[in-house]
Amino acid sequence: MVIYRDEYRLYNFGPSHPFSPVRLEMLTSLLQALGVWREPLVPGEATREDVLSVHSERLVKRVEAASRGEGVPDLEHYGLGTGDTPVFPGMDRAARILVGGTLEGARRILAGEKRVLQLGGGLHHAQYDRSSGFCVYNDLSVAIRHLVRSGLRVAYLDIDVHHGDGVQWIHYEEKEVLTISLHESGRYLFPGTGHVHEIGRGEGVGRKLNLPLEPFTEDESYLEVFEALVPWALGAFRPDVLVVQAGADAHFLDPLADLLLTTRAYERLFRLVLEYAEAYAGGRILLTLGGGYSLDATVRVWALLYLVFHGLPLPERLPEGWLREWEARLGQPLTPTLHDPEAPYPEIPRRQEIEKRNRLTLERLTELVRPHLVH
């Protein structure tokens, strides 16, 4: 089942902001041009109460006031009105529409649906008392909280290139929520957290896993540590459902980060998460989008996600008419194939050192959480 609503595109920080609704417009038009688009389930908006299940009243009041165009003197204290997360008219409702989609996904899972793809959301930086990093409200945590309150154990997997900090901190002391985030190390990248020693607190200890990766990590090294860590953690935790934030910004073309994944790695990752859901979570999986700031790459990665999710064959080339239209609209050439070309960037001289460091990070993480995670 796919969840989508055209009004997701109301979540718009302006024409020069990287979190652009154009990504969704390109994606849905590409899927239509490929002839694979199926009518999605159109979700309702999340209510104020839904949002308050993970956010403070103080924060929500400020988002509402800013949304109406009222001056709010302490806005920046709440992470809003910044360069990253500026305010815009109607932002409260726009954010609640995205939350509503992910929450609808959770409800569908509870109603017996196995696989749900929410073509939006993934606003993983928003915290209890603070919007952050393009994320006003945390749709993932609202959905996870709803699942937990309904008695499910949730594993959250975050492959966005940035640390899934908001989700981690909101559920930091919860034993029913396992979080796993693979990201470019916080030493180099926003939000600066996601170190291996952040393993949870109280009952949540050993259930918050972070694998910070070296800049310029390539497909092979990423997949090596991913395939060692994720099935091991899921096998130990045994969730009822897997929630996946499928950000596309670990792609080598991404302008905001420095990992070097290609679409080949993404295809493999998407196939793996579906397999892991079958093996460890009763087949239940809820996927969302997330970051991804190269229009060229992001749209192809998420088209791959849609096709793999539905078990459809992968076309080699993108439709000519679609390419011509979007190249004209964007004024830039686009990759004409679904996958990246072979060897799309020059060799990385430090490759072996990077692989070795990523292995060491995985070892440190495994040592830290094993005593808590495995009983």
User: Which residues belong to the active site?
Assistant: 125
Count other C-beta atoms under 10 Å from residue 97's C-beta.
24
Peptide bond into 349 cis (omega under 30): no
- Closest distance between Zn ion and the C-beta of residue 253, in Å? 14
CB 281 within 8 A of CB 241: yes
Which residue has the CB atom at the shortest distance from Zn ion?
A: 291
Smaller CB separation from Zn ion, 101 or 291: 291
The residues with which 115 forms a beta bridge, in sequence order, are: 285
Smaller CB separation from Zn ion, 162 or 251: 162
- Closest distance between Zn ion and the C-beta of residue 174, in Å? 23
How far is residue 138 from each of residues 101, 125, 141, measured CA to CA in Å? 12, 7, 6
Rule CB under 5 A: which residues touch Zn ion? 160, 162, 247, 249, 291
The residues with which 156 forms a beta bridge, in sequence order, are: 179, 243
Smaller CB separation from Zn ion, 182 or 307: 182
112 burial level (CB within 10 Å; 0-12, 13-18, 19+): exposed
Q: Beta strands 285-288 and 241-245: pairing type?
A: parallel
Smaller CB separation from Zn ion, 166 or 291: 291
- Strands across the sheet containing 285-288: 2-3, 115-118, 285-288, 241-245, 154-158, 177-184, 208-213
First to last CA, the chain: 35
- Closest distance between Zn ion and the C-beta of residue 57, in Å? 28
- Closest distance between Zn ion and the C-beta of residue 1, in Å? 25
- Closest distance between Zn ion and the C-beta of residue 69, in Å? 29
Smaller CB separation from Zn ion, 162 or 171: 162
3-state secondary structure at position 245? strand
3-state secondary structure at position 210? strand
Tokens standing for 68?
């109406």
CA atoms within 13 A on the CB side of 139: 35
Smaller CB separation from Zn ion, 294 or 361: 294
344 burial level (CB within 10 Å; 0-12, 13-18, 19+): middle
- Closest distance between Zn ion and the C-beta of residue 71, in Å? 30
Smaller CB separation from Zn ion, 182 or 338: 182
Give the closest residue to 67 by CA, choosing from 85, 42, 50, 52.
Answer: 85
The residues with which 288 forms a beta bridge, in sequence order, are: 118, 245
- Closest distance between Zn ion and the C-beta of residue 30, in Å? 21
How far is residue 227 from each of residues 63, 253, 271, 286, measured CA to CA in Å? 40, 23, 12, 20
Q: Which residues contact 322 (CB under 8 A, 6 or more apart)?
A: 29, 30, 33
Smaller CB separation from Zn ion, 18 or 90: 18
- Closest distance between Zn ion and the C-beta of residue 120, in Å? 15
3-state secondary structure at position 51? helix
